[in-house]
Structure 1
Amino acid sequence: MNRKFVLGVLAFLVFVFVLQWNAPSKFVWQPTYLHTDRQPFGCAVFDSLVQSSLSQDYSVTNKTLPQLLSEGKQPRAIMVNAINFTPTVTDLKAMKQLLRRGNKIMLVVHDYRPESRCVDVIPVWIDSYGTFSPRMVQISLQQMGDPMDTLWWADQKPYQKRMFRVYYPLMSGGFEYRKRIECDTLLQYRKLDIELADTQAIQPTTEGWQPKIISMRIGKGTLLLNAVPQLFTNYGILDKDINPLIFRTISQFGNMEVVRTQAYLPKSSSGSNSPLSYFLEKEPLRWAVYLALFGLLLFFVFTARRRQRVIPVVTPPENKSLEFVRLIGTLYHQHHDNRDILTKKCNYFAETIRRSIMADIMADEEQRETVTLITNHTGLTRQEVENTLLKIRKLKDAAKTSDSELKELVDAMDKILNQL
């Protein structure tokens, strides 16, 4: 009963483990932009698909802009992911030098507000007004509203103007301009039915349009500012409507090598949403896990010795064959029935000959062929074989058989059998 109970508990634990293993993981709609995060707003799938789709090299690094500048490589495209992008003066100087050398940099960030002394480097602020929430979409649908809105790709070569349907919370970011700048508007949100030129001087507010991705020339390079960072994630690359928008934006890099840096993401972002990570974040739960592991270790230490009853030594069974032969011999000796012994010996001899050489010694019409077969297989003389078979017929039909005749005939049959 105890064994069945243990097996039942183990089977139940295995069932629960398999059930949890195959259960779909819960989505976490928190942007991390990490290379290892497979949640909607991570970049594990994004990096994999972009790398396999581009003809040029694509890589992910944790190096800062000054470190990328010190590598001194040929001009390349650099994607900077951040949530609250707060670059230092050294970072901004490195960005300016990279742009002057012909590199292309795209800031894919939620918020960017440089210090007043750094406005000359990037005279644009990036503000995000919120993040995506499935609950907001659900409420909008319940109120018979449309949770989606339209983004427009400007008529920038080699692509024509096109609209993209996107959930409105995903494009809540925008720009604030600290001074008049000249730039190209790649992606924009249409508020009113007013056309916007592809390249124009943008004021802090432009009636009817809200740019979402802009491009400006600085030195020999190009700076792209992206106010819709949540589109450039696993969710966006897997969405059939947003996917073309991503590759249209990346095509602005041309054939340059693309490097995406995570150096400006929060250091506490881990991209892990497993139940164990939640336990380790809370101090009481963390110590509970440590105590459970310590108790499990003690259990292994004190119960590792095998517990089993003593296995008895079983003696091998005795060989009774010789005793059996002696018993049978004694019985025949006591009864002294030579005829019965001869009959059984002859039957055994005939059956062995039949199985070995397919000959029947009891068939008179096949006597000559039988003698020939036995002679060929044993190497004995034909006369000797014929005499043995003749004695078998003679003594088998006789009423009595003496001891000497029985011994002589048994020896003759054994001689033939041993030669087969």
Structure 2
Amino acid sequence: MKGSKGFAIGFTIFILLLFAVQLNMPGRFSWEPTFANKDRNPFGCYVFDSIMAQSLPQGYCVTKKTLYQISTGREKRNVLIVTDKFQPDANDLKAIRRMAARGAKVMIVAGGNSTYTADSLMRDSIGAVFKGFPYFSINGLKQKIKSDMEHALDTIYWQQNDRVYGKGAYTTYSMMTESHVGNLTALSFDTLATSRTHLNPLAIRRSLGKGEVILVATPLLFTNYGVLDDNTTGYVFRLMSQIADRRVIRTTAYMKTAEELEAEQSPLRVFLKKPPLRTALYLALAVIALMIIFGARRRQRIIPVVEPPQNRSLEFVQLIGTLYHQKKDHSDIVRKKFGFFADELRRLLLVDVTDKTADNHTFDIIAQRTGMSRHEVADIVTDIRRVADGEMEATEYGVRLYIDNMNMIIEKIS
């Protein structure tokens, strides 16, 4: 009896320890592209929308309105559409041309494999369509990296060379660049980005009326993953800067609904496709329903208490904080913030804070716009740059000071 009791206690302690370990482990991510505003997984847009709302100077918001509903408004704003397949109808394309005629810019970020009707309408109205068969599999990507690392990667080349951004190259996985923009029927297109593996461009820009239409064939990069990956953040912000001259509104009316995504992920879709399996499923459900009805007549069931939906924002912050706390890498946070800080200064002041040879000009411009002394600006930027360049490691107190200083400069400029 003593041995059995000791075994039971030991087994209970083991189960509790196992449960505690599993509870404290980070949750597994879902790599299903949703582009949803509240999705915190890699291919959702929770972080993407949050960063854009804080970074775009004229404002940024997300709505469920259609293009027609947006075009009827009087507010001057640009439009962003991010989806896996863009399948517009005639009214949608008329709304795009109506907004462009008034000077608005419409950026459509989508993959290929659309319907023939939608492609024909886009070809006639805009002069280009999305081509390719986008597909992402995390397991397939891992196998490809192990077997052929060279072909698992692709390089995106930024083709424009203006006073804000020069030509650049961005390395990403080839599964992110499976689509492209094709069937170009107009001669007035500007190529914004190409890739090493495609002859056709990944991003183009066309003047339409007083405005512009921008087509981008890399939707997986306009997500939480794309905006947090150091290799592609610059590419995303360069594209977003094309429509940053007005308030940007991202519409989710052309994404798959939660019900459609759930139906695609459900294993029941296999049964529903085959008539014999569908009949067997319906019979099984009918038998189960009868068992539930007769069982309910024998005993009274307690009505469960429905808990209200919980806010998971704090859990997301705790997860990210736990990862950085475990790594003890305060300098990496400063480097990421310094990258955003440098992009904002390029856009707002047309200066490159990463170019040490132009420090005299850069510090003078920043001091004039912020009202700070040149000496104070030089001290702040020099200290942050030492951490960003790896010459010095940031402490837990230092990372807060550096980020507060960068935020202070941007707020004074804005």
* Superimposed CA distance per residue, residues 190-245 of structure 1 (whole angstroms, 9 cap, x where no aligned partner): 35xxxxxxxxxxxxxxxx73310100000011100010110110110110111111
RMSD: 3.9
Structure 2 counterpart of 1:185, one-letter code: T
3-state SS of paired residue (1:298)? coil
- AA aligned to 2:67 is L
Match of 1:98 in 2: 99
Contact 2:84–2:110 at 8 Å: present in 1 too?
Answer: yes
Distance in structure 2 (CA, Å) of the matches to 1:73 and 1:135: 45
Equivalent residues of 1:36, 1:271 under 8 A apart: no
**Larger fraction in helix:** 2
SS of structure 2 residue aligned to 1:211: coil
Given that 2:111 and 2:180 are in contact with CA atoms closer than 8 Å, whether structure 1 keeps it comes out as no
**Which residues of 2 match residues 392-411 of structure 1 at below 5 A?**
none
Q: Is 1:121 matched up with 2:125?
A: yes
* SS at 1:259 equivalent: strand
Call closer, same or farther: CA 1:95–1:9 in 2, change over 3 Å.
farther
Q: TM-score, normalised by structure 1?
A: 0.57
- Contact 2:107 / 2:243 at 8 angstroms: preserved in 1? no
Residue matched to 2:143: 139
- Do structure 1's residue 252 and structure 2's residue 253 form an aligned pair? no
Aligned-partner Cα distance in 2 for 1:300–1:231: 42
> How do residues 13-412 of structure 1 correspond to structure 2 at under 5 angstroms?
18-74=20-76, 76-111=77-112, 112=114, 114=118, 116=120, 119-146=123-150, 147-157=152-162, 158-177=164-183, 179-191=185-197, 209-268=199-258, 298=302
| TM-score w.r.t. length of structure 2 | 0.58
Shift in CA distance, 115/133, structure 1 to aligned 2, threshold 3 Å: closer
Given that residues 131 and 181 in structure 2 are in contact (C-alpha distance below 8 angstroms), is that contact kept between their aligned partners in structure 1?
yes
* SS of residue in 1 equivalent to 2:258: coil
CA 1:152–1:279 in structure 2 vs 1: closer, same or farther (change >3 Å)?
closer
Q: Which runs of 5+ in 2 are unaligned?
A: 272-280, 306-414
Spell out, residue by residue over 1:243-285, the C-alpha distance to the aligned partner (whole angstroms, 9 max, x if none).
1111111111132101111000112358889xxx979999989
Question: Within 1, Cα distance between the matches of 2:73 and 2:169?
Answer: 39
SS in structure 1 of the partner of residue 44 of structure 2 = coil
| DSSP 3-state at the match of 2:85 | strand
- Distance in 2, Cα, partners of 1:296 & 1:278: 32
Question: Would you say the 8 A contact 1:34–1:271 is kept in 2?
Answer: no
Larger radius of gyration: 1
How many residues get paired? 276
Match of 2:342 in 1: none
Task: Give 1:155's aligned amino acid.
Answer: Q
In 1: Cα distance, 2:300 partner to 2:57 partner:
52
Distance apart, 1:50 and its partner CA:
1.6
Query: For residues 280 and 210 of structure 1, do their structure 2 counterparts lie closer, same or farther at Cα, with a shift above 3 Å needed?
Result: closer
Q: Distance in 2 between matches of 1:119 and 1:20?
A: 52
Following superposition, the deviation at residue 115 of structure 1 comes to 5.4
Structure 2 CA distance for aligned equivalents of residues 57 and 126 of structure 1? 28
Alpha-carbon contact 2:156-2:172 (below 8 Å) kept:
yes
**Which residue type is aligned with residue 179 of structure 1?**
T
Unmatched runs of 5 consecutive residues or more in structure 1: 192-207, 302-420
